[in-house]
Chain A
Amino acid sequence: MAKKQVLVACGAGIATSTIVNNAIEEMAKEHQLDLDVKQIKIAEVNSYAETADLLVTTATIQKEYDFPVITARSFLTGIGVEDTKKQILDALLK
């Protein structure tokens, strides 16, 4: 399976994306997925529009992309985190 590019984005690219980034890297390890994870600001998503396979974000996305977008607030609050992980896995294993 080709290496999938996962964008992890928040407003500043500082705080919440750091948490989500780590959660995804742990998932990748656990499920032995070879991922290219990019931690970016939401404003930078466009530069990856051609290469990304998935966007996981704590911010709102107005624009439509060709890849799935998953909201990841649950990694911060702990509420519904298993559902979010499943959504991410499903998107990556497609």
Chain B
Amino acid sequence: MNDFYFEEANILLNLEAENDKDVLVQMGRNLQELGLVHESFIDAIVAREEEFSTGLPTSTISVAIPHTDIEHVKQKSISIGVLKNEVGFGVMGDPEETTRVKVVFMLAMDEAHSQLYLLQRLMSIFQHNTMLTTIAQEQDKAKIVRLVKSELDIINEGGEVTWQKNKY
């Protein structure tokens, strides 16, 4: 049940969206169609973003990490949306300011307080300059899946997803 799901279907490339809400709805609907979240996830993630914005300017491009409460999630996963044209998101902790976001990492978390390792690895992607720009430009979803899985330190063996925790 706690398996982490991240495959090509979780990636939306050249995503065309009018604004941040439009991005969230499209990405949320994709997760719902994949059966990873409940229908309520979409409204919940839009509402959460309005209240607590998640745009993060990094040293290269800006990203956003929208997420919401665990009860809307069926299976732990993330979704990556690479926007065709950057869209303004409120800056986390500084909602008066917006940042033009290129890559959105939507988090569907199914446990509170217990996903430190996954989150830390994800943040390491933001702090790794070339990784983000590669994801922003890559057109081959399979390559993004491989890259992100290797960075998130996930190994896939015969369908079993495990964490290679001892590597670090």
CB proximity of A80 to chain B, nearest CB, Å:
11
Does B51 sit at the interface, judged by CB under 8 A?
yes
CB proximity of A54 to chain B, nearest CB, Å:
16
Interface centre among B57, B114, B119 (most CB of A within 10 A): B119
Chain A, 44-94, CB within 8 A of any chain B CB: 57-60, 71-73, 75-79
Does B11 sit at the interface, judged by CB under 8 A?
no
Task: Tell whether, in the assembled complex, residue B107 and residue A59 are in contact, meaning their CB atoms are under 8 Å apart.
Answer: no
Task: Tell whether, in the assembled complex, residue A73 and residue B120 are in contact, meaning their CB atoms are under 8 Å apart.
Answer: no
CB proximity of B28 to chain A, nearest CB, Å:
15
Q: Please, how many angstroms separate the alpha-carbon atoms of A37 and B11 in the complex?
A: 36
Task: Tell whether, in the assembled complex, residue B52 and residue A78 are in contact, meaning their CB atoms are under 8 Å apart.
Answer: no
Q: Please, how many angstroms separate the alpha-carbon atoms of A75 and B119 in the complex?
A: 11
Does B127 sit at the interface, judged by CB under 8 A?
yes
Segment at the interface with A among B89-97, B137-145, B159-167: B89-97
Task: Tell whether, in the assembled complex, residue B93 and residue A58 are in contact, meaning their CB atoms are under 8 Å apart.
Answer: yes
Chain B, 18-63, CB within 8 A of any chain A CB: 48, 51-52, 56-59
Chain B, 59-96, CB within 8 A of any chain A CB: 59, 65, 67-70, 91-95
Range, interface on chain A: 20 to 34
Task: Tell whether, in the assembled complex, residue B92 and residue A58 are in contact, meaning their CB atoms are under 8 Å apart.
Answer: yes
Contacts of B109 in A (CB 8 A): 14-15
Task: Tell whether, in the assembled complex, residue A15 and residue B58 are in contact, meaning their CB atoms are under 8 Å apart.
Answer: no
Q: Please, how many angstroms separate the alpha-carbon atoms of A60 and B91 in the complex?
A: 10
Which residue on A lies nearest to B95, using beta carbons? A60
Q: A14-B69, A14-B113, A15-B67 are in contact. Are A77 and B119 (CB under 8 A)?
A: no
Contact of A18 among B91, B92, B113 (CB under 8 A): B113
Q: Please, how many angstroms separate the alpha-carbon atoms of A13 and B119 in the complex?
A: 13
Task: Tell whether, in the assembled complex, residue B56 and residue A73 are in contact, meaning their CB atoms are under 8 Å apart.
Answer: yes
Contacts of B91 in A (CB 8 A): 73
Contacts of B126 in A (CB 8 A): 76-78
Contact of A77 among B57, B69, B107, B114 (CB under 8 A): B57
Does A12 sit at the interface, judged by CB under 8 A?
yes
CB proximity of A20 to chain B, nearest CB, Å:
10
Q: Which residues of B are in contact with A by a Cβ distance under 8 Å?
A: 48, 51-52, 56-59, 65, 67-70, 91-95, 107, 109, 112-116, 119-120, 123, 126-127
Given A15-B119, A73-B91; 8 other pairs, CB 8 A cutoff = A12-B52, A12-B68, A15-B65, A15-B67, A71-B94, A76-B56, A78-B127, A79-B57
